[in-house]
Structure 1
Amino acid sequence: MKNLIIILFVLSCGIFAQNGKITGRVVDRDTKEPLPGVNIVLIGTNKGAASDADGNFEIGNLEPGRYQIKASFIGYEPITKSEIIVTNVRPAELLIELKQKVIEIESVTVSSGYFNSDPYELNSTANFSYEEIRRAPGGFEDVIRALSVLPGIAQASPGRNDLIVRGGAPSENLYLVNGYPVQNINHFGSQGATGGPLSYVNLDFVRETNFSTGGFSVAYGDKISSVLRIDLREGRTDRLGGKATISATQFGLDFEGPVSGNSSFIISARRSYLDFIFDAAGFNFVPEYYDALAKYDHKIDSKNSLSFLFLGAFDKVKYNNNNSDDLYENSRILGSNQNEYLTGLSYRHIYDRGFYDISLSRNFFEINASQKDTNLTPIFLNNSIEGENTLKFDAVYKLNNRSEINLGVILKSVKFKTDIFFPQFVTSYGDTLNVGELKLNERYSKYAGYVQYSTTAGMFLFNVGLRADYYSFLTSRFYLAPRVSVSYMLDPSQAISISGGVYYQSPSYIWLAGSEENKSLRAIRANQLIAGYELKLRDDMRLKAEAYYKYYNDYPVSKLRPYLILTNTGAGFGGSTDNFSSFALETLVSSGKGFARGIEVSIQKKSSDIPHYGILSVTWNESIFTALDGVERPGKYDQKWIINLSGGYIFNSTLEGSLKFRFATGNPYTPFEPDGKQLVEKYNSLRFKPFHSLDIRVDKRWYFENFALITYIDIQNIYNNKSSNEISWDDRKKEVDVQSSIGILPSIGISLEF
């Protein structure tokens, strides 16, 4: 009993047996050159440091806890970084990028900023650090789920990562991991789209994310709604260390450390454990997944560096057909075994006025999907491979302290192979799909180039750029996309901005398989116009308001189903309940059009000397699309109002609590008739009831002599609101099956860092 009391006391108090430290590197944000002599101050203490000739600094002898630092340097804008977690087992390693001052205002002192700004993305961007993502309530420590609190983001389903950005489809989002393009970063991802239930990027190694919801620069293309950049950190350089984790859905083990004095490595492996629980509980459908990450960084010298990355996910499903009920339920599910990976090698060279990156990467996606009836006779089989080999060159050249040029070239070789068995299928609208057997084995090419000029003139900041894309597999192959953005600083605390441009996206590879005529499709075009206003209420708090308009043209639509436009597909697991719409295995034409427009207002407070943080966002938006029949209808993912409130309070250095509340107008849907049919004239004519939920989370840290313990309790949808978000037809009961969103879902997480 005495020993138990001692153990409980230790766990409640922790043992601060040794101190931690903060290390980092300071560079010019534009040229990436190291900055020596930068003053680094630990806010609230008398401790600090100055960066050396290589831009490196170290602040040691720190008690484990949460810190903020301020970095300042003559001729550069000061910056404040919060959410720096110091432990006794691993240094807190920072990369600080300072922006050169280009606007001087007399008698005005420029304060340090908590909000990072991108000089090339003047509108619609948000940054999240590792800690901000990790502690997000209801987020499963998932990179994508943490983004759902931002304005303009709708969720197709609370249980999935299908991002609906400003009225766009789930297929319209671009993912970049360390600059490498990735088709989808989710387990059990949707072919041709970008969603899935859970991201396979290990958050432990994410340094920060940058998310653009529109108006992004010419450096990014072949997607028309959003860009998510995920930057991974380097491995620790002091000694070998690691982390063991068990969370809501998975367990895993990480290792990292130095290889030599100028190189480091990271390796990680994770596995789901829900399949053990589902099997034991007798579930009819059992998912199982693994993922792995390996990273190696080598600094050749102060001007040259190499980096290697491998990121993989391996998913499979199991069917327990123990009785007639299991057989029926499984007959309604499109299940898939999937293997996907990203591997890449990049080289960076820093020169006097800038830098350039050269990268070679491969992104591979293999899917083996099937759906069978109650007699286990296949009604849909799909074996597909999508492989992309990408060679990229990106460069920045600074003309002077006010102007610079960005340029790049992208060469992509694609292999697309598919083997589909899809016998005659009658949709719920009465359309007959008669694909039969379909085999395709082709190679495609994608080429792109861009150039952008950025300059500051007085209180104005200008970006103007031009992008060219070439798609070898389309009849109309060449596309030019001009873009421009302007920002005007009214005073040091507020600015207005406007951006506009043309964006193109090639059709998903699977959309080309249904007919030879589909190669006559054009790239989807979206013209975007965005106006914004930003006000800094405090150093740690800002208000943003934006209005946007997107006009879509040349969207693929079905000739067989003239009411179907593919912007209404891509979310969920698809299959017969979706009439296999997302695969589009039929003749398509580029006759679809539509628009999305909206107004977004958000207030965000960063963690600072005031121990609370949060973001409130309010979005009004609508999306209207027209298919081949010429009828204007609301988009399937149209949500008129979206309100998010997320925030937390830091009680002390080891304990904090947070919550997230979300309200969203219901999505449109098509009702079923008493005979189980759906009518085209009622397509998307009704709406589900509004959805709202509250998530609550508590995080606690303990520090011991040789390890640190991080724990949390996370309760999603705490008042158990089961709003309907999808309907299907139950052929056995001859009635509508109304499917509800996830009810109350408690989870815990435990991480042991050593």
Structure 2
Amino acid sequence: MKKVLFALTILSFMNLTHTMAQELQQTIRGKVIDQDSKISLPGANVIVIDSDPLLGSSTDINGEFRIGNVPVGRVSLKISYIGYEDRIIPNILVTSGKEVLLDIEVRESLISMDEIVITAGADKSEIANEMALISARGFTVEETKRYAGSFNDPARMVSGYAGVTGDASGNNFIVVRGNSPRGIQWRLEGIEIPNPNHFSDEGATGGPINALNSEMLANSEFYSGAFAPEYGNALSGVFDMQLRKGNNEQREYSASVGILGTGLSAEGPFVKGGRASFLVNYRYSTLSILNELGVVDFDGIPKYQDLSFKINVPTKTFGTFSVFGLGGKSNILESVYDEVDEDRLLSEGDYQANMGVAGITQYWSFGTKTYLRNSVSVSQNGSGYLGYEPDSQENLIRMDEANLDKKTIKLASTLNHKVNAKHNLQLGGIYTRHNFDFYSEYFDSSEDEFVIGQNMDGDAGHYQGFISWKYRPWEDFSIVSGLHAQSTTLNSNRFIEPRVSMRWELSPRQALTAGFGIHGKLESLTNYYSIVTDDNGNTSMPNMNLDFTKARHYVVGYENKLGENLLLKMEAYYQDLYNIPVEDLSTSSYSLINQVEWFTDRKVVNEGTGKNYGLELTLERYFDNNYFFLMTASLFDSKYRAMDNIERNTAFNGNYVGNFLFGKEFEISRKLGKKKVIGFNSKVSLQGARRYTPMDIQASIEQDEAIYYESEAFSKRGDDLFMANISVVYRIDRKKTSQELKLDIQNVTNNQARLDQYYDSDTKSVEYGYQLALLPVLTYTIHF
């Protein structure tokens, strides 16, 4: 669907004038735990590096620490504990409006500490999941805010990573290593969830606006291939997001007003002196508010709202419980008028989408080496559309209708046992039950009749199980091996997926990595229940026996810490895709490998193949001394074969992508009780054009629908894409408040690359899609 370009709205901002009579300070506190067993570590030392006088603390019997009187600004922590590798947490942003709460995981050393001290480098991208050794990247909440053009959205942020491209039309689809965005899996609190984006179609994994506010996120992880055994039902990438815990000692609040939404958040203890806490955020479309107030008035106002929360409840006997939720609702009413006669209505469309998930997780320790992680969640996601056109008497007649709704229950359990510092075992199972109600029809003007594409309600089950074993024979060598298995009640298909990866640290600064894995993904349920009409006009659902789409991932990598804060990383990969659903016709070029959203209207069989291979390069300077930079480059090729057995480019084969990101902060004022900082961030991207299939223009006009030259599938290229984004952040810290004013501008040069081709039934013409125009987003946030 077409995206609405948001207008820059002038907002009024608060000016707090109260001046405090002391230096700004804040508290850092948290918990230190074993990375494998998750048990707390009493007696660990936590210090603020380079503080004068030295600031630090030791953890108590619960593994908790508190460091008070930390100056506002950026600090780094060092954590040390006898028998464990030291860990450094670099460049923590300390503001006056909120305490800093951290959960810090440290790894047991294989070498006796009276012989040698092992110090882990200040690697910001280091991930918490010990079972993931390759093609994995950790990211912080601050990164989602810092990267220019990300709009505080993690999905847009990762487009700066090597091997990842975004969508230039304004959507936040994620293309990883030449794969369809449908290969992405979204996870929240360790549980697979529906697509968390507003205005999203069925089967899609992206959308214009993410429903999850970055203010809610803890440090999270992104995987781009050869996943650890615990990750199933994904082909190209996994977004594993964690919600942060609310402050369990004092109430804190935030409020923000911006072009993309107006939001409020609150956190704090349920009972003063208790250990349980809550965190909640609500956001509503700013343009919708302004429209309701009569400030703006134009067609196609995007309306959306979302709510997210987390309740953390530690217990003495049954471990720690977390209750979490995320919900989003969006709709847009679009009216299209004739370009010549602007009062003549051509069509009207009412689009709606919604998603929601709520769950409970439990971390339950058994002794010092074993813990059980249990979870249960319920979710709902759906999209609907009503399309109308006026008849000869200007009465609106329904021409399209769709309502695709799915409800899901998910049960999961993982047992983790740390045998010793060398061996760690993981065993888990996941059961998913989908209940769905799908209906879709449209009016075919060439046949002068309605065509039904979906008309089914029912249920389907999905079973997954996995086992992982991590073995560290030496301090500098780790290997993870295991199996993932899955099956579905839709048919009798079963699938076992072996995985193995290794990491060999050649020196304290260099490492080699390698990984192999077989991965399978269940197709969107709507593809199974597509109603297909044959040449004789008979209808059936021929895709009920579709198997899992599958891929073999091969990855090798090299890392070199060129300096204290400088990392060079290279990865080469090959992906052998098979069991791809393709049209069951010997002359057809049609393959679901190119599908982005919605569902197929053809009979497909698992006879297609594909391949992706490429080389990725990352040079990153972590934020230090008030600046950072990130350079990434990817060269890749993405091909497929359908039933015609001709090797073709996939829709996502841009062949190359390069990014350069740079950011710097300046402290412009520091007075008693007040500090001002301004930050500048930029991102420049250049990527190869996407592919598209040429359209038979005359036939499309005659039949009033898109007719393609399918024998020339994806033979055309759009324009290569250039994108420049900038952002400016102005932050003021006072004793009890922190304010931030941010201007984030996407496509600052207003480049207009031609992306693809489509048929416009309203104007009866073939049109081109273009890169999203210059988009400024202004946001004001206050923490108190």
Q: What secondary structure does 2:408 align onto?
A: strand
RMSD between aligned residues: 2.6
Matched with 2:105 is: 97
Structure 1 residue corresponding to 2:771, chosen from 718, 732, 741: 741
Distance of 2:679 and 2:752 partners within structure 1? 28
Change (3 A) 1:233 1:447: same
Following superposition, the deviation at residue 40 of structure 1 comes to 1.2
Q: CA deviation at 1:660?
A: 0.7
**1:39 aligns with one of 20, 40, 45:** 45
Matches within 5 A, 1:632-647: 632-647=647-662
Separation in 2 of the partners of 1:329 and 1:628?
Answer: 43
Is 1:265 equivalent to 2:278 in the alignment?
A: yes
- Contact 1:65–1:654 (CA<8 Å) still a contact in 2? no
Give 2:88's aligned residue: 80
CA distance change for structure 1 residues 437 and 405 in 2, over 3 Å: closer, same or farther?
Answer: closer
2:646 maps to 1:631: yes
Aligned to 1:186: 197
Query: Cα distance, 1:355 vs. partner?
Result: 1.3
> 1:465 is aligned with what amino acid?
G
Native 8 Å contact 2:43 2:61 kept in 1:
yes
Post-superposition CA distance 1:683-715 (Å, at most 9, x none): 211111211111111112112343221111112
Greater Cα offset, 443-452 or 151-160:
151-160
1:660 to 683, 705, 715: 683
Give 3-state SS (helix, strand or coil) of 2:246's partner: coil
C-alpha spacing 1:326/1:42, structure 2 compared with 1 (3 Å)? farther
Tell me the secondary structure at the aligned position of residue 421 of structure 2.
Answer: coil
2-side partners of 1:450 and 1:730: how far apart? Answer: 47
Q: 1:163 aligns with which of 167, 174, 180?
A: 174
Alignment partners' CA distance in 2, 1:355 and 1:247: 43
Alpha-carbon distance in 2 for matches of 1:379, 1:559: 29
Partner of 2:29: 23
Q: State the secondary structure of the residue aligned to 2:242.
A: strand
Instruction: Provide closer, same or farther for how the CA distance between residues 327 and 400 of structure 1 changes in structure 2, counting only shifts above 3 A.
Output: farther
Give the whole-Å Cα distance in 1 for the aligned partners of 2:611 and 2:326: 36
User: Do the aligned partners of 1:558 and 1:584 also contact (CA within 8 Å) in 2?
Assistant: no
Q: Aligned equivalents of 1:19 and 1:320: distance in 2?
A: 53
Report if the CA contact (8 A) 1:357-1:393 is conserved.
yes
The residue aligned with 1:48 is 56
Task: Answer whether contact 1:495 1:535 (CA < 8 A) is retained.
Answer: yes
Instruction: Tell me the CA shift for residue 60 of structure 1.
Output: 0.8
> CA offset at residue 672 of structure 1?
3.3
Cα distance change, pair 361–535 in 1 and its aligned pair in 2 (3 A)? same
- Residue 251 of structure 1 aligns to a residue whose secondary structure is strand
**2:358, 2:377 within 8 Å by CA — same for their partners in 1?**
yes
Correspondence 1:289 to 2:304: yes
* Aligned counterparts of 1:438 and 1:21: Cα–Cα separation in 2: 56
> Distance in 1 between the 2:718 and 2:155 partners?
24
Tell me the TM-score normalised to structure 1 length: 0.92
2:320 pairs, out of 305, 308, 311, with 305
Give secondary structure in 2 for the equivalent of 1:286: coil
Conserved 8 A contact 1:284-1:326 = no
Please show how residues 60-139 of structure 1 align to structure 2 within 5 Å: 60-102=68-110, 110-115=119-124, 116-117=126-127, 118-139=129-150
Q: Distance between the aligned counterparts of 2:245 and 2:762, measured in 1? A: 55
TM-score, normalised via structure 2 length: 0.88
Moved more, 24-33 or 96-105: 96-105
Gaps of 5+ in 1: 1-6, 572-581
Residue deviations 1:341-388, cap 9 Å, x none?
000011111122031111000121122123344544334311121111
Question: By how many angstroms is 1:70 displaced?
Answer: 1.4
Distance 1:302 1:27, change over 3 A: farther
CA distance in 2, matches of 1:350, 1:42: 30
- Give the structure 2 partner of residue 568 of structure 1: 594
> Following the alignment from structure 2 to structure 1, what is the Cα–Cα distance between the partners of residues 361 and 599?
34
Deviations 1:593-629 (A, max 9, x none): 1111111010112123x32112111000111011222
Counterpart position of 1:222: 233
Listed as ranges, the matches of 1:371-520 within 5 Å are: 371-373=387-389, 375=391, 376-424=396-444, 435-436=451-452, 438-458=454-474, 459-474=476-491, 476-515=492-531, 516-520=541-545
1:399 Cα deviation (Å)? 1.0
Tell me if the contact between 2:346 and 2:762 (Cα under 8 Å) persists in the aligned partners.
Answer: no
Alignment of 1:298-377 (within 5 A): 298-301=313-316, 304-320=319-335, 331=347, 336-351=351-366, 352-373=368-389, 375=391, 376-377=396-397
TM-superposition CA deviations, 1:44-87 (whole Å, max 9, x none): 21211111111111111233222221112222222222342223
Is the CA contact (8 Å cut-off) linking 2:616 and 2:632 kept in structure 1?
yes
- Code of the residue aligned with 2:27 in structure 1: it is K
SS of aligned partner of 2:84: coil
Report deviation, 1:15: 7.8
Question: Which of 542, 551, 559 matches 2:567?
Answer: 542
Return the letter of the residue paired with 1:750: Y
SS in 2 for 1:144: helix
Distance 1:178 1:169 in 2: 25
**Share of identical aligned residues, percent?**
25
Q: Identify if the C-alpha distance between structure 1 residues 322 and 552 changes in structure 2 by more than 3 Å, giving closer, same or farther.
A: closer
Instruction: Output the CA distance in 1 between the equivalents of 2:548 and 2:453.
Output: 27
Q: Distance in 2 between matches of 1:388 and 1:648?
A: 42
Is the Cα contact below 8 Å between 1:72 and 1:78 reproduced in 2? yes
The CA distance in 1 between the partners of 2:554 and 2:111, in whole Å, is 26
**Structure 2 contact 739–781 (Cα < 8 Å) conserved:** yes
Which residue of 1 is the match for residue 757 of structure 2? 727
Question: Structure 1 residue 14: deviation in Å?
Answer: 8.8
Find the aligned partners of 2:343 and 2:230 in 1 and give their Cα distance.
49
In structure 2, distance between residues paired with 1:224 and 1:199:
21
How far did 1:638 drift?
1.3
In the alignment, the residues of structure 2 paired with residue 327 and residue 393 of structure 1 have an alpha-carbon distance, to the nearest angstrom, of: 59
2:692 maps to a residue whose letter is Y
2:23, 2:71 within 8 Å by CA — same for their partners in 1?
no
Cα deviation digits, residues 635-669 of structure 1 (max 9, x gap): 11111110011121122372221111111011112
Task: Assess if the C-alpha contact under 8 Å between 1:271 and 1:290 holds in 2.
Answer: yes
Q: Structure 1 CA distance, aligned partners of 2:758 and 2:409?
A: 40
User: Which stretch has the larger CA shift, 379-388 or 321-330?
Assistant: 321-330
Letter of the structure 1 residue corresponding to residue 545 of structure 2: S
Tell me the distance in 2 between the aligned counterparts of 1:629 and 1:327. 48
CA deviations 1:525-554 (Å, max 9, x no partner) are 101111111111123221110111111111
Partner residue of 2:220 out of 209, 220, 226:
209
- CA distance in 2 between counterparts of 1:407 and 1:173 reads 23
How far residue 673 of structure 1 moved from its aligned partner, in angstroms, is 4.2
Residue aligned with 1:694, SS: strand
Conserved in 2, the CA contact under 8 Å of 1:77 and 1:110?
yes
Amino acid at match of 1:746: P
Deviation per CA, 1:234-266: give whole Å up to 9, x if none: 111122221110123110111111013110111
1:302-329 alpha-carbon deviations (Å, 9 max, x no partner) = 8711110111001111234676777999
Contact 1:348/1:356 (<8 A) preserved: yes
Aligned to 1:249: 260
Q: Structure 1 residues 16, 632: CA separation in 2 closer, same or farther (over 3 Å shift)?
A: farther
